[in-house]
Amino acid sequence: MDSSVSQTTTRTASLWEALVPVVALIVMIRESLVRFDGTAHLPLLLAAAIAAVIGLRLGHRWIDLERGIIEGIAIGLKAILILMVVGMLIGTWIASGIVPILIFHGLKILHPSFFLVAACVICCIVSISTGSSWTTVGTVGIALVGVGQGLGVPLPMVAGAIVSGAYFGDKLSPLSDTTNLAPAVAGSELFEHVRYMLYTTIPSLVIALAIYAMLGWSSAGREAINEENVTLIRRTLSGNFNLNPVLLLPPLLVILMVTFRLPALPSLLGGVLLGGILAVTVQGAALKEVLAAAQTGFKAQTEVGPVDELLTRGGLESMMPTVSLILCALTFGGVMERTGLLGALANGILRLARGVGGLVSATVVTCLGMNVLAPDQYLSIIVPGRMYREAYERQGLHPKLLSRTLEDSGTLSSPLVPWNTCGAFMSTTLGVSALAYLPYAFLNLLNPIIAIIIAFAGWKIARASQPVRGAPAV
């Protein structure tokens, strides 16, 4: 009875009401970051409070808003648990020598002039194999950051190349959650969805690699400085760690576990356990030191500044600021969705859509908005997919166009938003803020733009085999 009474006394939010908390959030985050050198935590909570007040004015009960918050947070709990485990993984893998040996050999093989291209391609291969951007970044990504630092490549560029490669596989691999989720929401078939995404993803990757190549060659003049730095770092690593080849096994095992569809959380926990065992058996660390590395992070004491800075990181506690940021963001997203404010925003965008290009553009903008406001990668696919499915059907468009667009924008824009679960994970794991690597995550930036250009050009626009009767011409 309570729910029916609640439904009859609520009214639908207007577009202007939905814009109030959004505009407030944008203004407060800008002031917090630029003027006060703060974070997005408080702006997100204050914006959630504003959205809640609007929700109460619309007739929603506080208990319903509270449920919306709890449900919103529940969506991100898996991401939070993985984030905490990755913090432990980084700490134990440094203590065991796994990260140092990967950096040691990476500095020997890779070169500044082609490092960005190599980093992106390596992450493409691993992410296609595992279907997980998070596993890719949490394993090889950590090592590539160290190699890039050793070679003198700017860290935001390194992180951008890693994120681009990691999300190439996250988007295309049949093992990926989002690759399966998008066609399920849109009503298309998995492998036709994957094949259709190649039309937007391959051009985006080729252009991204070309830009990384140009950036690499333009910075090749630093070679003399890099060689000196590389020699110092490699000598320090070999002098402070036992770089036994057996240390290469845990990253391979974790990647294999995820490749064979074992859940990410136990696979990463297995990696933490292997790291702890190798820290004791190979490096001779005491159990107390291993537990400290997992809890508070590894503290390097090599007396070589660049190496200490590189290896002093990780630990479960290092992830707590990011966990609290995700909780604040999901609180805001939960209130926005429960009050219908998100739906009002999306409907306002849909009214502006004209033709195929306009509909695809509306989908891209909505997915990006969901990643900013909800803010979770899965919601950026599910909510726009549900909202626009009928619109695509009315225009006689094949469901795989919708599923592709959901991935082109929802999947790929998620790591570019600092308070999104994906953006928070990437920035914390790589040690670079999302706003710093955003200009260099070229695949993620290009893919939505190319999707819109192709839609307006009318190239490879798939039509439904049985158009909906009375569908408007496009």
DSSP output for 89-150:
HHHHHHHHTHHHHHHHHHHHH--TTTHHHHHHHHHHHHHHHHS-HHHHIIIIIHHHHHHHHH
Mean pLDDT for 343-367 is 85
Mean pLDDT for 443-462 is 92
The more confidently predicted of residues 104 and 228 is 104
pLDDT at 347 over 90: no
Quote the pLDDT of residue 83.
80
- Between CA 256 and CA 410 the distance in angstroms is 27
pLDDT digits (tens, 9 = 90+) for 22-59: 899 888 988 887 788 788 889 889 999 999 999 999 99
Quote the pLDDT of residue 139.
81
- Between CA 184 and CA 392 the distance in angstroms is 15
* Lowest mean pLDDT segment, chosen from 236-240, 262-266, 282-286: 262-266
Q: How many CA atoms, within 13 angstroms, populate the side-chain half-sphere of residue 363?
A: 35
Mean pLDDT for 122-141 is 85
Dig out the tokens for 409 from the structure: 């924008």
pLDDT digits (tens, 9 = 90+) for 141-200: 888 998 888 888 899 999 999 999 999 988 988 778 788 888 888 888 888 898 999 999
Quote the pLDDT of residue 221.
45
Mean pLDDT for 316-340 is 87
Mean pLDDT for 317-328 is 86
pLDDT at 225 over 50: no
Dig out the tokens for 211 from the structure: 């830009």
Dig out the tokens for 201 from the structure: 């993803």
The more confidently predicted of residues 267 and 432 is 432
Phi, psi of 470 (to 5 degrees): 85, 10
Q: Supply the mean pLDDT for the chain.
A: 85
Q: Dihedral (C-alpha) 384, 388, 392, 394: value to the nearest 10 degrees? A: 170
Quote the pLDDT of residue 219.
62
Quote the pLDDT of residue 5.
42
pLDDT at 75 over 70: yes
User: Nearest to residue 138, comparing CAs of 425, 415, 443?
Assistant: 425
Mean pLDDT for 280-295 is 94
Dig out the tokens for 243 from the structure: 């770089």
Phi, psi of 463 (to 5 degrees): -100, 150
Q: For residue 246, what pLDDT band results from cuts at 50, 70 and 90? A: very high
